[in-house]
Chains A and B, each alone.
Chain A
């Protein structure tokens, strides 16, 4: 407590309790609106979800306003264990996590490429960042069309390489292809990778902007000193530049992990989890289970959400621990 004491303006009368404790009361007055709001919509629902995952509930209430949920204990989790769709989703989540990490080095690579001062550089930097600004729904639609084997970019390029255009007697153009064009989003093996590739596009842009900012603040004298010592290229990058980019790398990893585990929009737009559930991830599977045309299964959905939350919590704890170390060191 290093604050200066509040000076007594009236020396005779003792100041009121509120006046004396104003430094203890004031923060709560400032905090209360945000805390209440945050508690209602974020903190309390987390616990409600955890609790609901032990119930079976279709979301309905009986006439007297009582919820129709019935207690099933850990049965939802037992069902989850035997649910092949759950395991597919979990495996895909892992694929997202691993492959999404490519955004970090690729973002660094593009940032290094763009870290120059030729005329018009500002324009190039903002255009490279562009994919991050547009909604994932739009990115999903763009790539859904991009991958289309009939009239998308992939299909058109394929035709140019593998197909021969022939005109039949009636004058109609037909294509004879040595190999049919790949329908990436309809293939159970490839669809997930197709979506991840689409998701990487804006994520690389995000990592790039983090690294561009980081590169701006790399100590020039250290670079020069290392240059005098004969360091260059990869060695310079790895031993001199990358260590100085540590804060940017940390944030890039945080946002990429969160982005990978939150992936929902692209999947909902591009495949809706199909074909045959092969592109589901936990976030999308949860939505599909909880709100589907076959009736609502809030309890089972909540158990899927709880698993996802548990995975996320591992990362969140690590991030918070890192931030805590910084806070301690920072003062």
Chain B
């Protein structure tokens, strides 16, 4: 193990390491802690410049409920759910199929097609912006929930396919070989042999795509204009304009927007990290 484990060092080193850890964590999360403290302060505190001190009164419930009663935050949150959930289902399903095809079958264009999905995943959004926006306007998908989840699902299929293909490629090929010798149909091999084995990959992708799409801001701006289809990220910006200098409300709204992905991360931490660090080890 590198660096040398502190257990093997002297007691002084060990204790100072353990004492320093929380200090380092507080420094690292200082911006977040500060904004959390702001979100539970009253307006009076903010105006008198009490940023670091102990809040003169706690306004946690007042501030957070004010966000919901004074703005369309609830609608934005619900829109985000309606956009992210179908995106996750469509992109992961398509990627299971495509990843299986690219990993198992040996045909000439398998690698170029795989690279197409990988490359598509890295391109700047701006190169898609005008045509996708124009297409959405033409087909009546502009400013709708469906217009957003269809695009996200298509775009995220690139990353999901990259992930699935590598995951399936790492499974023992003998499994498929012997199923074929048994005379099992190809789709049955996919359904009964492969799908049960890729469950961890599905879980990892589901949490990752949920987080990516929930946090999307660019497409929310390009593909929506009104309140009816705006997700929470774009909504928070609208609130920022609405609550000018009401920093306690802006910070409460920001933290609310962050809750679902954060909850998702803490509940499915293992899958989240295994998905994100795919390829970081050989």
Hey, which bits of chain A sit against chain B, CB under 8 A? 1-4, 6-7, 9, 22-24, 26-31, 33-35, 37-38, 40-46, 48-50, 52, 59, 112-113, 115-118, 120, 124, 126-131, 133-138, 141-143, 145-146, 150-153, 156, 159, 201, 206, 209-211, 213-218, 220, 223, 236-237, 240-241, 247-248, 250-252, 254, 258, 261-262, 264-265, 268-269, 282-283, 286-287, 290-291, 298, 301-302, 304-306, 308-309, 312, 315-316, 319-320, 323-324, 327
Contacts and interface: CB of A to CB of B under 8 A. Distances in A.
Interface stretch (B65-73, B176-184, B197-205): B176-184
B128 A31 contact: no
For chain B, give the interface size range.
35 or more
Contacts of B226: none
B30 A153 contact: yes
A124 B116 contact: no
Contact of A23 (B105, B110, B124, B234): B105
Nearest to B282: A247
B126 interface: yes
Nearest to A127: B25
Given A124-B21, A214-B280, A52 B130 contact: yes
A6 B179 CA distance: 11
Contacts of A301: 126, 129-130
Given A134-B261, A209-B273, A115 B2 contact: yes
Interface in B239-259: 240, 247, 250-251, 254-255, 257-258
A320 B118 contact: yes
A133 B129 CA distance: 25
Contact of A215 (B2, B131, B240): B2
A112 B25 contact: no
B123 A30 contact: no
Nearest to A255: B276
Contacts of A218: 1-2
B51 A153 contact: yes
Contacts of A210: 276-277, 280
7 contacts: A27-B110, A31-B102, A41-B151, A133-B258, A308-B126, A312-B122, A319-B122
A141 B155 CA distance: 27
A308 B124 contact: yes
A219 B221 CA distance: 47
Contacts of B7: 117-118
Interface of B: 1-3, 5-7, 14, 17-18, 21, 24-25, 28-32, 34-35, 38, 46, 49, 51-52, 94-95, 97-98, 100-102, 104-107, 110-111, 113, 115-120, 122-135, 150-151, 153-155, 157-158, 161, 177, 180-181, 183, 186-187, 190, 211, 214-215, 217-218, 221-222, 233-234, 236-237, 240, 247, 250-251, 254-255, 257-258, 261-262, 265-266, 269, 273, 276-277, 279-282
B2 A112 contact: yes
Contacts of A29: 187
Given A1-B106, A320-B115, A45 B262 contact: no
B280 A31 contact: no
Contacts of A305: 124, 126-127, 129-130
A241 to B, nearest CB: 5
A316 to B, nearest CB: 5
A261 B126 CA distance: 11
A74 to B, nearest CB: 18
B97 A41 contact: no
A137 B279 contact: no
Contacts of B158: 38, 42
Nearest to A247: B282
Given A45-B132, A115-B3, A156 B49 contact: yes
A241 B35 CA distance: 38
Contacts of B25: 124, 127-128
Nearest to A223: B2
Contact of A268 (B95, B217, B261): B217
B154 A41 contact: yes
A172 B59 CA distance: 25
A38 B217 contact: no
Given A127-B25, A213-B281, 15 more contacts: A6-B180, A37-B94, A41-B155, A45-B127, A49-B130, A52-B130, A112-B2, A118-B21, A130-B29, A141-B236, A146-B31, A156-B51, A264-B218, A312-B124, A316-B122
